[in-house]
Amino acid sequence: MNSSHPTYAGNLQSEGDQTIATSRTDDGAPAPAAEAAARRHIAAVERRALGNRGWRGTWMLFRRELARFMKVAGQTIVSPVLTTILWFIVFGYSLGSRLDEIQGIPYVDFLVPGLIMLNLINNSFLNTGFSLFISKIHGSVVDVLLTPLTPLQLIIGYTAASLLRALIIGGLIWLVAGLMGASTLHNPAFTLTFMILTSLAFALFGLVVSILAEDFDHINLFPSFLLMPLTFLGGVFYSLEMLPPPWDSISLVNPILYMVNGLRYGMTGVSDVPVGFGLLLVAGSVAVFGATAAYLLATGKKLRE
């Protein structure tokens, strides 16, 4: 080293006060103080990231998504709950006085699982769908992709918030329905499992759609022209036995029918279709949409373009 250069002792310190590197320029000369400070900061950030393996970043992403929909809780939580309660009152008590029972249970009990499933599907899809898409069109999603987070950690951060939102809404509707006299506690463990898997499947589906979508019309297309019709035609308000041929057979190709009946079985013990197939369908949807979302995040397709 040239003796004319002053010796720099700006070593980077670990949390245990152990020296891990000395900041120098590429030609071996001591680095300026500003550059050395920047290198110390970068090394510290990298050290923290390696220490928690990115899970702290996942937690922060989850907190950001949670704060985002809680700031407008009146729209994201209170509004769908109140709307569903009105549907429950209008359909449950107006039609319930005429239909009396369906498959041996009161109509109000029959109605609750379908209304809860309707909200689980819509809110879990919309939360991830709009959140990631807005970040994409604003360009801020690139900042998320540049973090040390893996595709799995990104998926967990986004979908965990959607799952929580859907379960809060579904749980509140379930609670209010119970307070209004509905008996829907046949198998709570199976009910919660089905609610979680269904919400997770559509949260992942929303993530996939938001990555592939190019404008807001693509996001609105699925809930308005696909999910909503399939849900209403999936046995929310009626039993499959009430449909005349050939509509009863056509309804069997609707995947939402198996989800609604799976939740209905958990709450009331009755179902129009095999419950095991419905559970397999939901679990398969989680696997397919999860793998697709992981691939799209790993490749950056439609995100970095």
Write the DSSP string, 163-230.
Answer: HHHHHHHHHHHHHHHHHTT----S-HHHHHHHHHHHHHHHHHHHHHHHHH--SHHHHHHHIIIIIHHH
Same domain, yes or no, for 59 and 95? yes
Residue 258 lies in a domain: yes
pLDDT-derived band at 10 (thresholds 50, 70, 90) equals very low
Whether residue 38 sits in one domain with residue 60: no
Task: Identify the domain containing residue 15 by its residue range.
Answer: 11-48
Residues 34 and 125 in one domain: no
Q: Which of 38, 30, 32 has the alpha carbon at shortest distance from 12?
A: 38
Q: Are 238 and 225 in contact (CB under 8 A)?
A: no
- Same-domain status, 107 and 163: yes
CB contact at 8 A, 280 and 194: no
In a domain, 268, yes or no: yes
Residues 42 and 168 placed together within one structural domain of the fold? no
Are the CB atoms for 194 and 266 separated by under 8 Å?
yes
Give yes or no for residue 16 having a pLDDT over 70.
no
**Same structural domain for residues 216 and 127?**
yes
User: In this structure, are 39 and 83 located in the same domain?
Assistant: no
Structure tokens at 37: 């400070």
pLDDT of 75-96, one tens digit each?
Answer: 999 999 999 999 888 887 776 6
**Under 8 Å between Cβ of 125 and 202:** yes
Same domain, 180 and 280: yes
pLDDT at 38: 78
Number of domains in the chain: 2
Across 35-39, 146-150, 166-170, which has the greatest mean pLDDT?
166-170
- 6 falls within a domain: no
* Rounded average pLDDT over 256-284: 96
Q: Is residue 2 part of a domain?
A: no
* Co-location of 181 and 295 in the same domain: yes
Task: Kindly state whether residue 3 falls inside one of the protein's structural domains.
Answer: no
Q: Is 5 among the domain residues?
A: no
- Name the strand (E) or helix (H) holding 12: strand 11-13
In a domain, 1, yes or no: no
pLDDT above 90: residue 72: yes
- Is residue 1 predicted with pLDDT exceeding 60? no
Same domain for 245 and 124: yes
| pLDDT at site 76 | 95
The answer to whether residue 154 is domain-embedded is: yes
Q: Are residues 68 and 34 located together in one domain of the fold?
A: no
Tokens found for residue 156 = 């967990």
Q: Are residues 37 and 164 in the same domain?
A: no
Coil vs helix vs strand at 19: strand
